[in-house]
Amino acid sequence: DEQAPALPNDLLLIDPNWIALNDSVDLWLDVAIFERAFAAVRGQPGETLTPEQASEVQAAVALYQGDLLEGCYHDWFLYERERLQNMYLTMLDKLLVFHMEQGDYEAGIECGGRILRYDRARECTHQQLMVLYARAGRRTSALRQYERCAEALDEELGVRPSQLTDAIYQEVR
């Protein structure tokens, strides 16, 4: 049973064994924009982003509205979900560092909070948040961040904060 060729306005190309998007249709895909922004800054440290690059990454991060096909657990969903989530976290980390370098501490703190919603035991993000809070003049928040870090590391991994995290804590104290 042969499938008829797609007409220029057909969104999907359908075959008995596969389904694909028709490249000739004018279509805007959030995932394509997201992946393009990630590719543009892959391997580039956050402190070297230009304001234009940071703006593009910020727009891409705003497209991420949650995990791909949440609630579905087929193998390919899990791989794609994790791949996109890792891209999201990497871009947030670049933005956090960019904002820290620019002195926009509140924007950096917001990025760090978003990262920790996905990975609450990410110690480097806790460290960055402690520094951001301290630079923003929010010493108590920096000290509380240490406590959240210690709790998350203990509950998630059964470990204590690293010497670097302890040193940041002592400096803030």
Q: pTM for the whole thing?
A: 0.81
Q: What percent of the chain has pLDDT over 90?
A: 66
> Would you say 91 and 62 are in contact if contact means Cβ atoms under 8 Å apart?
no
Instruction: Identify the band that residue 27 occupies on the pLDDT scale cut at 50, 70 and 90.
Output: confident
pLDDT for res 74? 65
- Checking if the pLDDT of 109 tops 90, the result is yes
pLDDT digits (tens, 9 = 90+) for 43-59: 999 999 999 999 999 99
> Would you say 34 and 64 are in contact if contact means Cβ atoms under 8 Å apart?
yes
Q: Comparing C-alpha atoms, which of 12, 58, 69, 67 is closest to residue 34?
A: 58
pLDDT for res 71? 63
pLDDT digits (tens, 9 = 90+) for 127-163: 999 999 999 999 999 999 999 999 999 999 999 999 9
